[in-house]
DNA sequence: TCCACATTTCCAAATTTGTTGAAATATCGT
DNA sequence: ACGATATTTCAACAAATTTGGAAATGTGGA
């Protein structure tokens, strides 16, 4: 996953509305939810929801499938796991040696907080 | 980590500039970088950078420390790991049984793709 | 074919973000 | 104390996002 794709996903998640949509769809896995029902559940104007749905689908976060005159949306969990991977890598890279998930999740990263930070500024 | 805090972090990461700043600071761990040097490295106007730095700091993604007339910024890896946790939980919740990180990272989530999705719409 | 319905597209207004240059604040070195 | 430097704050502006209503599109049922 490249930075550009990551930014697109974060853009999606950076709106309360869209994050709400995504969380709702994750809970609704693997069935998914039809657009109108999302609008009802989250109390969003259809036209406004459609706008967000399009954004999220374009970012690859959602999958659509036509079902008669309904459109059923589903969360793309695979992409989300890629995002987690991106974040995990970018969380650790550059830090001494091998920081594993467990190290980070546990709070403190060994050997990453007590050096002698010398200024390397130019002035 | 609540949804509100998560949205704030995603807002930070949803800008190419800010994601660039964060990645730079992650690489610069545990020393951190002084504001002016970030501006130079990323070629951003000081005033504009300051704007982003403030946003990111308010979201808790960055830590600041004064060093003479310099301000040294560091990435808050702890918060980032919380975000990863938030994402992981929201990626799996509602899906049958115990989806672990490994299950997701490996790509396919067992038992989450072959049911018989019946419509539950109201119309 | 005609009507009802689900959803999207279009459009204009409101809101939010991001950028810039100038001025303010604060610290260092002399 | 003074001048130079680092960074922020401020104000104005440009640009992007978000919203909701009306109209268009497409599907299904009678």
Which of A38, A96, A119 to substitute to test the interface with B, most B CBs within 10 Å? A119
Quick: pLDDT tens for B41-84.
999 999 999 999 999 999 999 999 999 999 999 999 999 999 99
What are the structural domain ranges in chain A? 3-78
pLDDT at A117: 42
For the four alpha carbons of A65, A67, A69 and A74, in that order, the dihedral sign comes to negative
B62 Cβ neighbours under 8 A, 6+ residues apart: B22, B25, B53, B56, B73, B74, B75, B76
pLDDT at A87: 92
Percent share of chain A, pLDDT over 90: 67
Q: Are B121 and A37 in contact (CB under 8 A)?
A: yes
* pLDDT above 50 for A29: yes
* pLDDT above 80 for B102: no
Q: Are A31 and A20 in contact (CB under 8 A)?
A: no
Interface contact A23-B90, CB threshold 8 A:
yes
User: What count of Cα atoms within 13 Å lies in the side-chain half-sphere of residue B67?
Assistant: 20
Average pLDDT over residues A68-89: 94
- Please, which pLDDT band fits residue A93 given cuts at 50, 70 and 90? low
| Residue A89 to residues A8, A86, A98, B51, B80, Cα–Cα distance (Å) | 18, 5, 11, 26, 11
Q: Specify the CATH class of B3-76 in words.
A: mainly alpha
How many Å lie between the alpha carbon of B33 and the closest alpha carbon of chain A?
A: 8
Who among residues 53-112 of B has its Cβ near strand D, under 7 Å?
A: 53-54, 64, 69-71
- Please, which pLDDT band fits residue B90 given cuts at 50, 70 and 90? confident
- Please, which pLDDT band fits residue A90 given cuts at 50, 70 and 90? confident
Mean pLDDT of the residues in chain A = 81
The domain made up of A3-78 has a fold known as Arc Repressor Mutant, subunit A (1.10.10)
User: What count of Cα atoms within 13 Å lies in the side-chain half-sphere of residue A75?
Assistant: 28
Q: Where are the alpha helices (H) located in chain B, listed in sequence order?
A: 3-13, 16-27, 35-42, 46-58, 77-92, 101-105
């Amino acid at each position: 996953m490249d930075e550009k794709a990551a930014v697109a996903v974060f853009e999606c998640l950076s709106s309360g509305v869209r994050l709400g949509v995504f969380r709702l769809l994750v809970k609704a896995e693997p069935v998914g939810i039809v657009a109108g029902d999302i609008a009802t559940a989250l109390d969003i104007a259809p036209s406004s929801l459609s706008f967000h749905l399009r954004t999220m689908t374009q970012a690859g976060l959602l999958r659509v499938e036509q079902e008669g005159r309904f459109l059923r949306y589903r969360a793309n969990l695979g992409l989300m796991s890629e995002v987690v991977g991106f974040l995990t890598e970018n969380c650790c890279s550059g830090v001494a040696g091998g920081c594993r998930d467990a190290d980070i999740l546990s709070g403190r990263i060994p050997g990453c907080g007590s050096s002698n930070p010398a200024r390397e500024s130019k002035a």
